[in-house]
């Protein structure tokens, strides 16, 4: 029921929806320093204000929770379904080729720009689903609420603020993953570790290393400064490492030093095989160069042993595992800062249902300690699981099958969404399973037809669950 009307409505509003997404994506809503009344900075606040003004323009009742979270309600009836999306983005990063990060463009059926897929595009698709239900006059007996957060990428303190004053809806989905239904989100360990050592004046030496932007992003670039090495030797060794890894190296002489830039390919930390880790490639390069022995170099060699370039399963760290429902553990080494006397680093591990602190956190702590590193973590985030046979999940899968003609199944993912701590929350859309939309990387895009079908599916779900 209503399928034909929903499809016609969304198709008729295609360009308007794309225009609204583009307006939001022109705002750099990366988290920045606190300002009074703007807990995550100017950009996040602007994006939230714009999204709420859109919702209000389309006739929805809105509420702003102290610029942490905004909501739009379809009606004033009993709470039934929450749709949980976010408007903040990861840093733009480098390597964009189709357009500038915050200048969205439509090309070849795709909308390019930071946030088009994660998560402004899906948020607007959900808004248009609500619009369709409202303007088509589909009768509902219960309410759906669109919840728009602004700190999903940096810890989700926004949504904790929201749930301090609001209760969960009986059912929640987040359009911040992929179809069909993600009912399992892996646990995580963002392992922060440090080391200190006596500085050495011996040459050749590493003066500094700086790599990574966020703990949940595979670094596409990494930087180092060397002293006392022949540049031709570094170039030749770099060429060998490039053949093995696909990561290239730019070398520039400056004031008796060599500045090294490793250039790989960024990716979401939950999908480390989809990137080319510039940090672990840089460490591999360092391990093959004739630096003078010292405690710092010994530590860097240890990092190569613990986080070898091609190891994305945590085998070298002693935490590799998998289970039938949620798959294998993944691991990415994402942040490193090294000076002459200290080291500060973070790896990101996404852990299956079988993982716990005894078989992940403690083995990692012991293995790092064997090499002189101190793991500072006391806890890890547990996995999240919702029964795939529940009426809620079955309703989502039925709508997906109806609008795509594909078989609906339950899936597991390594990325965590807003629903991770909710009792009955799953990720649902807004990309098709085979689509790699370069989330967290350069040239992020959303397939426009996928956004349109997502809006149609969401409208059907609202109708089925709230009618």
Q: Which residues are catalytic?
A: 88, 152
Q: With left for phi above 0 and alpha for psi between -120 and 50, is residue 145 left, alpha or beta? A: beta
CA 268, 272, 276, 281 torsion-angle sign: positive
CA distances from 68 to 25, 165, 346 (A): 19, 12, 27
Distance from C-alpha of 300 to C-alpha of 290, rounded to nearest angstrom: 13
Q: How far apart are CA 66 and CA 145, in angstroms?
A: 18
Question: Which long-range contacts does 436-440 make (Cβ < 8 Å, 24+ apart)?
Answer: 436/274, 437/116, 437/117, 437/118, 438/117, 439/117, 439/118, 439/268, 440/90, 440/93, 440/118, 440/216, 440/217, 440/266, 440/267, 440/268, 440/269
Helices within 164-245 (DSSP H only): 231-245
- The answer to whether 267 and 284 are in contact (CB under 8 A) is no
How many alpha carbons lie under 13 Å from residue 276 in its C-beta half-sphere?
A: 18
Taking alpha carbons only, the member of 270, 85, 90 closest to residue 174 is 85
Q: What is d(CA 174, CA 27) in angstroms, rounded to the nearest whole number?
A: 22
- Residues 57, 375: Cα–Cα separation, whole Å: 50
Tokens 């795509």 -> residue: 404
At 425, is the secondary structure helix, strand, or coil?
Answer: strand
Q: Are 223 and 249 in contact (CB under 8 A)?
A: no
Rounded CA separation 436/21 (Å): 19
Measured in whole angstroms, how far is the alpha carbon of residue 1 from the centre of its chain?
36
Nearest Cα residue to 227 out of 264, 275, 260: 260
Q: DSSP character for 438?
A: -
């Amino acid at each position: 029921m209503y399928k034909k009307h929903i499809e016609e409505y969304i198709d008729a509003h295609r360009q308007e929806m794309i225009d609204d997404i583009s307006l939001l994506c022109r705002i750099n809503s990366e988290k920045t320093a606190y300002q009074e009344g703007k807990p995550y900075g100017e950009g996040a606040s602007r994006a939230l204000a714009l999204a709420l003004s859109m919702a209000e323009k389309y006739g929805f009742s809105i509420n702003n929770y102290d610029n942490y979270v905004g909501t739009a309600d379809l009606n004033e009836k009993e709470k039934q379904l929450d749709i949980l999306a976010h408007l903040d983005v990861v840093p733009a990063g480098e390597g964009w080729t189709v357009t500038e990060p915050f200048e969205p463009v439509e090309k070849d059926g795709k909308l390019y720009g930071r946030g088009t897929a994660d998560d402004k595009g899906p948020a607007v698709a959900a808004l248009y689903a609500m619009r369709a239900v409202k303007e088509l006059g589909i009768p509902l007996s219960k309410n759906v609420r669109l919840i728009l957060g602004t700190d999903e990428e940096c810890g989700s303190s926004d949504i904790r603020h929201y749930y301090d004053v609001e209760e969960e809806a009986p059912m929640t989905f987040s359009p911040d993953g992929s179809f069909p239904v993600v009912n399992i989100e892996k646990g995580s360990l963002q392992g922060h570790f440090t080391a200190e050592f006596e500085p050495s004046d011996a040459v050749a030496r590493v003066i500094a290393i700086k790599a990574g932007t966020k703990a949940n992003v595979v670094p596409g670039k990494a930087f180092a400064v060397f002293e006392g090495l022949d540049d031709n030797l570094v170039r030749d060794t770099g060429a060998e490492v490039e053949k093995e890894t696909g990561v290239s190296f730019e070398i520039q002489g400056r004031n008796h030093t060599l500045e090294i830039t490793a250039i790989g390919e960024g990716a979401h930390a939950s999908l480390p095989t989809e990137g080319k880790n510039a940090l672990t490639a840089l460490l591999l390069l360092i391990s093959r160069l004739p630096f003078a022995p010292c405690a710092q170099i010994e530590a860097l060699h240890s990092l190569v042993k613990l986080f070898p370039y091609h190891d994305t399963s945590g085998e070298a760290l002693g935490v590799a595992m998998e289970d039938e429902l949620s798959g294998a553990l993944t691991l990415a080494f994402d942040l490193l800062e090294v000076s002459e006397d200290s080291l500060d680093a973070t790896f990101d591990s996404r852990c299956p249902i079988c993982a716990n602190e005894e078989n992940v956190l403690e083995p990692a702590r012991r293995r790092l300690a064997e090499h002189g590193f101190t793991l500072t973590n006391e806890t890890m985030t547990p996995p999240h699981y919702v029964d795939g046979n529940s009426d809620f999940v079955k309703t989502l899968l039925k709508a997906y099958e109806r609008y795509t003609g594909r078989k609906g199944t339950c899936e597991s993912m390594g990325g965590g969404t807003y629903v991770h701590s909710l009792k009955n929350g799953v990720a649902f859309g807004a990309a098709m399973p085979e689509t790699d939309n370069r989330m967290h990387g350069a040239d992020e895009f959303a397939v426009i037809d996928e956004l349109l079908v997502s809006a149609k599916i969401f409208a059907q779900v609202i109708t089925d669950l709230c009618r």
